[in-house]
Amino acid sequence: MPYKYFGLLAVAMLVCGLGFIIWRWPQGKHHTFSYHVATDKYKMVYYVVLFALTAPVLLGFFFGWFIPAFHLPPAFGVCLIISIAAQQACTLIPEVGGWKTICHGMLAGLAGGLLLPLLFMLLSSGYVSLLGKFLTAFCLFTMLGVIGATIAFRGRHYALILQSVYYTAFFVPVLGISYVL
């Protein structure tokens, strides 16, 4: 099944694309990826294109292989589509203050927040190995810990690190049960 390997391709695209942002346009660990690109139009275009190219690859992986392989419920697909759509919308609204920052934050919160039920649904699948379930549970608790830290720091400190850990904690069990466990 060719779609199975789209997960690796999508994560590689994201890691390289986001890594380029940090390398090329550094803003410090206290700013999100979005903030790193919000200062210039060409950076925003790069960000939009990165996610526009990655989204179909991710959707191909999840709908073409992952959801059927682990017999996940239709709600998984619905949450996934809404999360990816919110992420796409989020890239179009820069984090530049005022209503745009509020709207960006709400969309980012929706996109990230919907990843939690995806891992809960993954935990409930009878087609995930016991080791896969332990990994998923650990990463789910990690994501909840990041949310707690973000609330405690009021989003002002270590935003880039917390954002990176959060999304890594989502993709680790997905890739782990797909290719290793």
Q: What is the pLDDT of residues 51-70, one digit of tens each?
A: 999 999 999 999 999 999 99
* Tokens encoding 35: 């903030």
Instruction: Give dist(CA 88, CA 85) in Å, integer.
Output: 5
Whether pLDDT at 27 is above 80: no
- The stretch 103-125 carries a mean pLDDT of 95
Q: What is the pLDDT of residues 126-176, one digit of tens each?
A: 999 999 999 999 999 999 999 999 888 876 678 888 899 999 999 999 999
Q: What is the pLDDT of residues 4-26, one digit of tens each?
A: 999 999 999 999 999 998 898 87
- The stretch 37-43 carries a mean pLDDT of 85
Q: What is the pLDDT of residues 86-111, one digit of tens each?
A: 999 999 988 888 888 899 989 999 99
Residue 100, pLDDT score:
86
Among the listed residues 152, 34, 167, 49, the one whose alpha carbon sits nearest the alpha carbon of residue 97: 34
Contact 21, 36 (CB under 8 A): yes
Contact 119, 136 (CB under 8 A): yes
The one-letter amino acid code at 72 reads: L
Instruction: Give dist(CA 63, CA 69) in Å, integer.
Output: 10
